Amino acid sequence: MPKKIQKDEQLYAVIGLGRFGFALAEELARQGKDVLAVDWEREIINRAAEFTDNAFVADALKAENLAACGVGDADVAVIGIGAKIDVSILTTLNVMKLGVKRVIAKATSEEQGEVLTRLGAEVIYPERDMALRTAGKLASPHILEYISLSDKVDIMELTLTPRVDGRTVLELNVRQKWGLNIIAVRHGGEVNISISPQTKVSANDTLAVVGKTEDIERFEAYLHGKD
């Protein structure tokens, strides 16, 4: 019988420990989170047992097995099954039947994602998102980090050039000129998220901005004297 989980904070259930699911469960555990890991392969569960006491072998298709593992006690459940679409959908349905409040499901196609969304799950596309981030970096070597929030809105980290050295946020005026919002400035090893109009920036600082893709590209061009 699985041991009784003593909850003193949110419990995260990760079902399906492929590369994505295993890495997610391991990182959550590293951050001190209460993790419940479920997979149908004993070898994988033996590896997961190195970072969580709550690692169980179960047939993810059967709701009673998931319940016996304690999945119904989870605050958040992540379904890391992508390639096997039928297994992904049935597992998501069974987890939701157990009353888990927040269910996040991995999808590998738009069609799979649509079905999972209709079931009430939050859908993520790890492979697609990683490809978009990598493409964003390759397309512009001056961009350090790239996160796509939608088809048209991104968060990007850019390295500032001498062209804006010593200016304040007010003087940069990125909102008025390019329609962007500054969310953080990294100077050396310190990150400042309390941005004011008087915040100064220097060459080689990293600026994190959010806005439309084309507007970020225009700002990047300005930084490199291409306006």
CATH of the domain at 84: 3.40.50.720
Same domain, 36 and 139: no
CATH number at residue 175: 3.30.70.1450
Q: Which of 76, 95, 124 is the last residue of a domain?
A: 124
Same domain, 104 and 136: no
Mapping DSSP to helix (H, G, I), strand (E, B) and coil, where does residue 27 land? helix
Question: Quick one: tokens of 111?
Answer: 């069609």
Is 5 inside any structural domain? no
Question: Quick one: tokens of 101?
Answer: 């409040």
Same domain, 157 and 108: no
The whole-number pLDDT of residue 111 equals: 86
Task: Provide the residue count of the chain.
Answer: 227
Same domain, 89 and 152: no
Same domain, 134 and 120: no
Same domain, 74 and 144: no
Q: Which run of H or of E encompasses 56?
A: strand 54-57
Is 2 inside any structural domain? no
Same domain, 36 and 93: yes
Give the whole-angstrom CA distance, residue 55 versus residue 25: 10
Q: What letter represents residue 217's amino acid? A: E
pLDDT tens column, 58-113: 976 788 999 999 999 999 999 998 777 888 899 999 999 999 999 999 888 888 88
Is 147 inside any structural domain? yes
Average pLDDT over residues 208-213: 86
Q: In what order do the strands lie in the sheet with 76-79?
A: 54-57, 34-39, 11-15, 76-79, 102-106, 122-124
Q: Which residue has the tokens 């990125």?
A: 174
Average pLDDT over residues 116-131: 78
Is 146 inside any structural domain? yes
Give the whole-angstrom CA distance, residue 121 versus residue 116: 6
Structural domain count, the chain: 2
Same domain, 40 and 115: yes
> 168 lies in which domain range?
129-223
Q: Which of 59, 91, 124 is the last residue of a domain?
A: 124
Phi, psi of 122 (to 5 degrees): -80, 135
Same domain, 21 and 112: yes
DSSP strand pairing (34-39 vs 54-57):
parallel
The whole-number pLDDT of residue 136 equals: 55
Mean pLDDT of the chain: 84
Q: Which of 71, 91, 124 is the last residue of a domain?
A: 124
| Closest alpha carbon to 113 in 65, 157, 79 | 79
Residue 199 has pLDDT above 70, yes or no: yes
Is 216 inside any structural domain? yes
Q: Give this prediction's pTM.
A: 0.60
Is 1 inside any structural domain? no
56, 69 Cβ separation under 8 angstroms? yes
Mapping DSSP to helix (H, G, I), strand (E, B) and coil, where does residue 21 land? helix
Residue 2 has pLDDT above 60, yes or no: no
End-to-end alpha carbon distance in the chain: 66
Same domain, 119 and 35: yes
Residue 34 CB contacts under 8 Å (≥ 6 apart), including other chains: 5, 7, 8, 9, 10, 11, 12, 54
Average pLDDT over residues 162-183: 93
Mapping DSSP to helix (H, G, I), strand (E, B) and coil, where does residue 99 land? coil
Is 87 inside any structural domain? yes
Going by pLDDT thresholds of 50, 70 and 90, the confidence category of residue 34 is very high
CA distances from 39 to 88, 201, 227 (A): 12, 48, 53
Residue 151 or residue 89, greater confidence:
89
Is 82 inside any structural domain? yes
